[in-house]
Chains A and B, each alone.
Chain A
Amino acid sequence: MEDDDRWLIVTVDRDSRVSDRDRYVVNVTIVNFQSLIKAALGLDLRNTIILVWGIGKTMNAPPQLEDFKHRAVVDSTYADMTWKILEHAIHEIYNHNTSGLCMEELYRNAYNMVLHKFGEKLYSGLVLTLTSHLKEMAKSIEAAQEGLFLEELNRKWADHNKALQIIGDILIYMDKTFIPSTHKTPIHELGLNLWRDNIIHSSKIQPRLQDTLLELVQRERTGEVINRDLMRNIMNMFMDLGSSVYQEDFEIPFLEVSADFYRGESQQFIECCDVEII
C-alpha cells in the first residue's frame, strides 16, 4: 500500500460553452504523483473544482480526532493542496466573487493548516498572495489617467479593505493562535502594511499622490470646487495606515506648501493694501 503511486483526479468544470450555469463537465483521471502535480498546476482554478484521492493513501482524509489515534501523517502535499484552495479563495475575494465561496470549507482548511503546524506556510503564502494582488493594483493605479488617479486609488483601497476583512474572517483561527504565539503581525495590520509598502510608498505612486493632493489643495484655495469626499477618504486612509504615514506623506509637505502659500498671500496683501507698518 505504501508505495502505491496512483492518484484519482476528479475535476468538475463549469461548461463554458453552455450559458446555463448549472451545466458541468466531469473528468476522472488516474495518474501518478508527478502528473498529478503537473495537472494541478495546469488547471484553470477559477472554473474548476478539483477532488483528488490518493489510492491506498490516507493523506487526503480529513485529519480529525481519529487520526490522532491512527498515526496519520499529514504531510506537506496535504498542506500544498489546502493552500491551493485558500489561495484560490483569496483570488476570488479580490475578484469580487465572494458569494461563490464557502466559508465553512475555507475556515476549516485554514484551521487544519494551523492545527497541523503549517501555520508558517499559510502565513508566508498569504503575504505572497497579498503582495502579488497589491502589485497588480499598483499597476492599474499607475495606469489611471490624470483626473481619475485619486478615484482609482480610492476604489482600490476600498476593495482592498473589504477583501482584507473577508480574508481575516477565513483566517480567524490563525489570527487568534498562531500569530500571537509566533509574534507575527496580525492579518489586518499586515494588510495595511503591505498596502503602504506596495502602493503608497511605491516609487511611481508616492510622488504623484503627493503632487495630486497638494494640487487639489491649491485649486481649492484658488476658489475651484473639488471633490471633498474623495479628499476625506484619502486622508482617512492615511490615518488608517498610521499617523507616521499621514505626517510624512501629507502633513509635512502640506504645511510647507501652506506656509509658502500664506507667505505669498500675506505679501500680496501687504503690497496691495496701503498699510503703514509702524
Chain B
Amino acid sequence: MVEKQQKKFLTVAPFECAWRNDLRFREAGRGCVAFEAFAHNDVTVVFREHVGSQHYHYKRDNSPHYTVILGSHRNRRLKIEVDGKTVVDAAGIGLCCSSAFQSYWISIYDGLISIGKGRYPFQNLVFEWLDSNPNCSVQYVGLSSWDKHVGYRNVNVLPLTQNHISLWKHVNGGEYEGDEGGVEEMENVSRHHENWGLQNFLESWELSDIFFIVGEEEKTVPAHKVILAASGNFGSSLCNQDVIQLQDVSYPVLRAFLQYIYTGHTKILESQLNSLRALSLKYEVMPLVKQCEEITERFKLNKKLFDSGKNVEISYPSSKIHCGTTFPSGLPLNMQRLEQFLITGEYSDVDIYIGGHGLIAQPHKIILGLWSVPFLKMFTNGMSESISSKALLQDVPLEAFKAMLEFMYYGELNKEETMDIDTLLLQLLLLADQFGVTLLHQECCKTLLECLSEDTVCPILQVISSVPPCKLIEETCEKKFSMHFDYCTTASIDFVLLDEATFSKILKHPDLTVTSEERVLNAILLWCMQAKEFYVWDVVDEMILNSAPELLFGERFQSINYLLPLVRFPLLPYALLKKLERSGLSRMIPTFDFLVKEAICYLEFGLANPQGDRNARFQHRRSSFKELQYIRDGDSNGVLYFIGTSFGEHQWVNPVLAKRICVSASSPISRHTDPKVLVSRTYQGTSFAGPRIEDGKNCTRWIIDIGQDHQLMCNYYTLRQDGSRAYIRSWNFQGSLDGKTWTNLRVHENDQTMCKPGQFASWPIIGPNALLPFRFFRVLLAAPTTDDTNPWNFCICFLELYGYFH
C-alpha cells in the first residue's frame, strides 16, 4: 500500500489514490475533511460513493464523483471537477506548498463545496462553489495526486455541525495521534448536542403550566403555554385557564400535533391526517395545516399511495442550511411573537431580579431551562426558586444578562450590539460559561476571534485564562500579544495583571517580535513589580537601591528568577550590557548578574561550551526587525533608501523603478505627479498630488506600499517641500496593514514647520502607535495649504520613513 500507517503520514505516488474505510462522511453528501499536504502541485482529493482501488484515477471514473485539485496546472490554479468535467478553474487560489506541510479543509454540504486554508475548518474560506445539480451520495474521501508525489498527514473527517469550535478542539487534540479515541470523543460531543433541545420537554411535566385532557379515556397531556402561544393561536384559553378539554381529539392526534410543535417533525397514520389538520386549523398552526393539505393533495393525485395503515411523515421545512436545529429556528414557532413575549412578559412564569437593579425581565422558565441546565435545575430541584416565581441573581452584569436572554429567545447573537463592545462580549462569555449556555459560549468565542485586535488581547487574556474551555482564543490572543509585544506592553500597563503562566507563555512564544531585548527586560521588570505606571529598567534600578528586591517585587519575587532567563541578553549591545553589569539590579538579583555576565562573556570570547549554543538565549529571534534610525534630514539611513539598495546588497537604484515599492498619488500620474520622483532623492521644483474627492470629502494624498512581505514600525518620517508656494499646514500621517483601514500615526494641525521652498522637515512618531507594524503609509491632506489658487495640492518632492523594518 502507499500508506505508511505507523507514522500517520502517507505519501501518494503519482497517478495513485489512497482510500481508507475510515475516511468517510458519517452522512452521505455532507461532511468535511481537514488535512495537511505537502506537494509541488496537484493535491487531489476525490469524493465518491464507494471506496476505489489504489490505482483508481478520477479521469477514468464513470460513477458520479467530485474532484478538488489544489495547485493544478503546475501549481497555478484551483480546479473542481464533477464527473470528470471541469466546472471550476480559478487562477491563483488555494495553491500548494512544496517547502512545508500546509493545512487545508474541504467541506461538502449537499453540493456546496467549500475550500479553505488553515487548521480550523470553516475559518479562512478561500473558495466556495455550489453544484446546481447536487450529488448527495458522495461519502468516501480519496487522496490522490497527478505526476508528482503528494504527502498527506493529519487527515480528519469531521461531521458538519453547528458548533465549529468543538471541531477545532478536535483538530488541536488529534494532531499527530492515531485518532481512534479522538473520533469517539467527537461523536460524544455531537451526540450531546443532538440530544439538546425542545424535544426533551415534549409531553414533560417539567416546567409545564397547562395540560390537555383528550379522548374518551381523558388522558392528561402536559404542555407549555409560551411554546403553544408562539406556534399558533390558542385564544383566551391560555391566559386564564390551565386545562384545555378536547374530548373529540384522540391522544395520537394530539401527540402528533405537539410533536410537530416541539420537534419540527412528526409521524401520523394516514387515516388520522384529517383530524390533525382540523386540530391545527383550530389553533391556527398554519405551517402544519398547509403541510397536511399538501399531503392530502398528493394522496388524491396518486391513488396508489393510498394505504390507510401507513404512517405519514411530516417535517417542518427548516430554513437553516447547516444541519441541527437550534431553538427557535427549525421549529414552527413564530419568532416575532416569541420576541414579543420576552418584551411584554406574557405567559411569563418567573420574575428575574438582578441584585442592585430590581426586576429586569419576566421570561419563561422553559426557555431558560431549555438553554441552561443550571436554570433548569434551579426551577425544578425544590429549592426556593422552584417554589416561588421569583429568582434573584447576584453579581450578574445587567446588560450582558439581557443580551443572554435575547440570545435565548432569538437563537442568535445580536451582532451589531455586541461586536464593538468588548467588555459586554467578555461578560457575555463569562455568563454563558457560568450558566452553561454552550452555543452562546461558542458564538461569543467566534465573535471574539473575529474582532480580536492588539488593544483587546490583554483584557481578553485576563478573563479567558480563568475560563477553562477557551483554549483556541487563549492561544490566538497569546500569539497576537507576542507578535505585537512592544505595542501591547506599551499601550497599556494592564499586561501586568496577566497571570504568570500566560505571561511566560507569551515570552516563550516562537513568534515573539520585539525591536529590542531591552523591551523584554522592561516588561518583565514591570510585570514582576506589578507596576502601576511605566518605568524603564534604569528607574527600577534606582528603586532597587532604596529597597530590597523582596519588597520591590513582593509576591512575584520568585517569578523574576524564572522569567529573566527569557531575556536574550546576548542580543543586547555590548555597551548596554556593561552598564547593566554595574547596575544595582546586578548587585541585588543574582540571576540577573549571572545572565548579564554570561552575555558579556559570550560577546567577548564566544561560547565556552559549544553545546550551550542551542540554548534559545543565544539565538536571534526568528522575526526580528532591522532598526533604521533617523539621523538627519535627507540621510541615507531611511527605509526607502534601504529598500533601494535591496536591503544593503548593491548600489542604490530607484526602488519604484526596481518595483520594490509602490507609490501612488491621489491624482493621475503626470509630469508633476510622478511616483518615482518622490523617492528619487533629487530635488524637483514642482511635484504634487492633486485633489480628489471621495465620499464628498477631499482626500489629497500620497500612499507608499513597502511590499507584501515587509512591515515597518515607523517612528520618524521626513518630507521635503517642492519649490512651490503651497506649504502644508494640516495633514495626517497614517499607517495601514491592508490599505483600507488607516491608523493615525501623527496628526498635524496648523503645523508651521514648512515655510521655505525646497525645505526638509522631519517629525517623530510619539506614543504606542509607533510600535504597530504596517505595510502601507500615507500622508493625507486634512485642510487647504497656504496656496490660494490650488489649495488642495499636496506639494512634496521627497519622503522618507524610519523605524523598525522587516
Residues of A that sit less than 8 Å from B by CB: 62-65, 68-69, 71, 98-108, 111, 115-117, 165-166, 169, 172-173, 176-178, 181
Contacts and interface: CB of A to CB of B under 8 A. Distances in A.
A100 B423 contact: no
A190 B800 CA distance: 70
A260 B355 CA distance: 69
Contact of B463 (A65, A111, A165): A65
B383 A68 contact: no
Contact of A69 (B373, B392, B459, B469): B459
Nearest to A107: B374
Contacts of A102: 383-385, 392
Contact of A172 (B373, B383, B397, B423): B373
Contacts of A63: 395
Given A64-B397, A65-B430, A69-B462, A177 B469 contact: yes
A62 B394 contact: yes
A120 B388 CA distance: 34
A63 B393 CA distance: 14
A68 B462 contact: yes
Given A62-B394, A64-B397, A107-B378, A176 B497 contact: no
B436 A69 contact: no
Q: Is chain A's binding surface mostly helix, strand, loop or mixed?
A: helix
Contacts of A68: 459, 462-463, 466, 497
A173 B434 contact: yes
Nearest to B497: A71
A105 to B, nearest CB: 7
B497 A69 contact: yes
Given A103-B384, A166-B382, A173 B374 contact: yes
A177 B383 contact: no
Given A98-B382, A103-B378, A116 B373 contact: no
What class of interface size applies to chain B in its complex with A? 20 to 34
Given A62-B395, A65-B427, A104-B385, 11 more contacts: A65-B423, A68-B497, A99-B383, A100-B384, A103-B381, A103-B385, A105-B394, A107-B374, A117-B466, A166-B382, A176-B436
A108 B383 contact: no
A100 B387 CA distance: 10
A105 B392 CA distance: 9
A100 B530 CA distance: 44
A173 B436 contact: yes
A101 B530 contact: no
Contacts of A178: 468
Nearest to B462: A68
B284 interface: no
B10 interface: no
B494 interface: yes
A211 to B, nearest CB: 37
B419 interface: no
A104 B393 contact: yes
A88 B768 CA distance: 52
Contacts of B494: 69
Contacts of B394: 62, 104-105, 108
Contacts of B434: 108, 111, 173
Interface in B407-455: 423, 426-427, 430, 434, 436
Given A65-B423, A65-B463, A104-B394, A99 B373 contact: no
Nearest to A117: B466
12 contacts: A64-B397, A65-B430, A68-B462, A98-B383, A100-B384, A103-B381, A103-B383, A104-B385, A104-B391, A106-B383, A166-B383, A169-B374
